[in-house]
Structure 1
Amino acid sequence: MEVSYQKDQQRTSVIYGETVATMMRQEDLSNRQILICGNQRYYDLYADKLAQYIPDSSRQDWFITTNHRYCNDMGNFKEFVHFIKRFPKQEEILFIGIGNEGVIELTSFLHHVSNLNSRLWLIPVSIRSFAQSLSFDNQIFLLESMDPVLRVKENAEYILFDHTLADQQTTGKMVDLLSFIRCGIVCEHAFLQTLYTSFPNRQLLMQRSFSAFIESLIHYYQTEAGTISRFGKSFERAFFQTENGHLLSNSMKNMFGLLLELCWNIKASDLDFNFKNFMIWLMSLGYPLVLPEQISLGEYGQQVISLAKEIPMDQLNEIGVTGGQRVPTETELIETFKYYQQLLDEIRGN
C-alpha cells in the first residue's frame, strides 16, 4: 500500500504492506550511484539481499555505522561527510538509509546538507525507526553528553516499511511496543486500550505482528508528530546527564522516560488513569520497571528540571489529550518518584 504523507509543506510517499524486494523491483535502479547508510547489524543481514535488486549498470557503496541508537553523533557525521567527497557533484546519487533511528536521522541529515544531486529513500527496520522517519526531525548529537547540536527537517522521497523485517526483530518488539504506547498516551486513550487487549501477555506480544497498527501510527504522526516525539524526552535525556545513568541501556532510558513523565502527569494533574494496572501490564510483558539504586533520584530530578526549562513538557489534560506546556517543580518530582516506588512495592508485595 502506498500513501501520500504530508507534514506542513513537506511530503513523502510511504509504502507498507509489501516486502522490500517487491518495492525495489518496482523501481528503475539502472545506471545509478547508490549510497547506502546502515548499521553494522543490518549490513551483515541485508547487504547481499539488497545487492540482488541493484542492476549491474549501477554502483553501490555502503557507509557502515555502529549499532548504537545514537549513531547520528558528530563523529559519524564527520566521517560520512568525508566519505561522500569521493562522489562527483554532477552525478545523481540515491541515498538509502536502512537501520535504526540513528541511521534514519544521519542519512536524512546528510542528504539535506550535502551539495550533491541526490534523492533519499529510507528503509526503517523497526517500528521505532519507522516512527522516526515519519517525524521528519533529524538531529546530530554530541556523543559524550547526548546534547543535540544540529537539527534539520527533511523528508524522504520514499519511506519503504517492510513489517516482516520489523517482526523478525523479536528482541526489539518490547521497545517497538513503547512507540505505540506513546501514541496512545498522547493521542487516543482508546488506542492504548486496544494495545492492552491485543498484547495481554509476553507470549502474544512475541507472536503477533504490529502490522494492524501501522495505519494508526501513520495517522498519529501526521497530526501530532512533535508532541509524540517530545513526550518522555526530557526524562529520558536526564539519565545521560546523571551519574550512573550508564547502568541503563538506551532502550531502558527511553522506557523510563515515558513511564516517569506519565507518572508525573498523573500526580501533578490528578489524571483519571489506573497507573498501577498499567504497570502490572508492563511487568507481565517483561519490562524491567525497577530503577538501579545507584542512580540518585535527587540529582536526576534536577537534570529533568534543567532540561524541561529548555523545552517545556507537554501537559496531559487526560490520557490522549494534551494542552499547554510547563516545567515540573522539585516538589512534584519528589512526589512522582515516591508514588512510582510505592506502586512498585505494592505490585511486588513488599
Structure 2
Amino acid sequence: MSAFDQGRVRPGDDGLANAAAEKLRSMTPVAGAMAYPFLLDAFHLAVSPTDGRMSFGRLALAALCLLAATVVPLLGLACAYWMTMAAPSSFELRARRLAYISVGAPPLFVLTGVGLGLLHIPVSDELVWVAAWLAAGLYVLLGGEPERPATSAAIAPSIAKWRVTHGIAAAIILFYVAFHLTNHLLGLFGPEVHGAVMKIGRTVYRSSVIEPILVGLMLFQIAVGVRLAWRWSALPADAYRVFQIGSGVYLAAFIVTHLNSAFVSARAVHHIDTNWDWASGAPTGLIHDAWSIRLVPHYALGVFFVLGHLASGLRGVLIAHGVATTIANRIWATGLAMGALIAIAIMSGLCGVRI
C-alpha cells in the first residue's frame, strides 16, 4: 500500500482535512512545473552579474537553480510513484497522470516558446505556461468521477502486441540514436570534428528515402508510446515501471518538440542549418542566453531518458527470457548511470568544454 493510498479518508479521521491535504499533495508536480521557468530565470540572473564579476556565491546560486530545474521532472516521477495504487479513484488517476505529464516539463516549455514564436503571438511564454498548468491543476481538482479504469487483466492483453511493435521500432531507431549521441560526444573535440562526422551521417539519414522513414518511425513511436503510457498509468506499478512510463512521456514530448524546432522552425521557416551553432546557441551560448538556458535541461534529460528508456525496455526483455531479476536490475541501473554520464559529457561539449 502506497503512502498516497494510506492518505485516503478513513472512518474516524477528520474527513475534510484529510481530503484537502490529499488534494494539496497531488498538486506538488503542478507546483514544480509552474516553478520551472522561474528557476531558469534565477539561474540566468545569477550568471549575469552587472559588474561582470562572477563570485563564488553567485556560482553556487546558479548551480543550485539549474539543479532544481533539472530535478522538476524527477519530482514528477517520484510523485507518480507515490500516487500509484490499486483501484484508484478518478481523482487519484487524474493526479497520477498529471504527475507523469510534469516529467515532460523541459521539452514542453521549449515547445511553448518556439510555438508562440512561430504563431507570432506576443505573449510571455511564462504567462502561457503558468496559465496552462493552473488549468491542468484545476481539472484534476474539480473533475468529475466517471467509471473506474479497467483492471490489469483487461488492459494487458489489449496492448501486448503494441508493446512488441514499439520495441521493434525502437531497435531500428537505435541505430540513428547511437550515431546521433556519438556525434554529439565528439563535440568535446570541437565543432569541426562534430561537423565533419555529421556531414557523413547526413548523407544517410537525410536522404530522400531514409529521412521520411525515420520521421515516420519517430511519430509512430510517439503514438504507440502515448497509448501504452495511458494504459499502464492506470495500473499499480513498481519503480521500474514508473520510470519506464515517465521516461516515455518525456521522450514523446522531446521528439515532438525537437521535430518542431528542427523541421518547422529552423529548416522550413527560418532556413537555418541545424548544425553545431544551432544546437549550442552560438554565438551567445546556452548558458548566458536568457532563452537558450531552457535547452540545457531539455537536452541533458533527453539524453538521459532516451538511454534510460532503452535500458528499461532491455530489462523487460531480459526478464521475459529468463534472466534473473537481480541481474536485469543491475543492467538497468548501469544503463541509467551510463546515461547520466553521457548526458553530462554531451552537455559539457555543447557548453564549451573541450578535450
Greater strand proportion: 1
TM-score of the aligned structures, taking structure 1 as reference length: 0.25
* TM-score, normalization by structure 2: 0.25
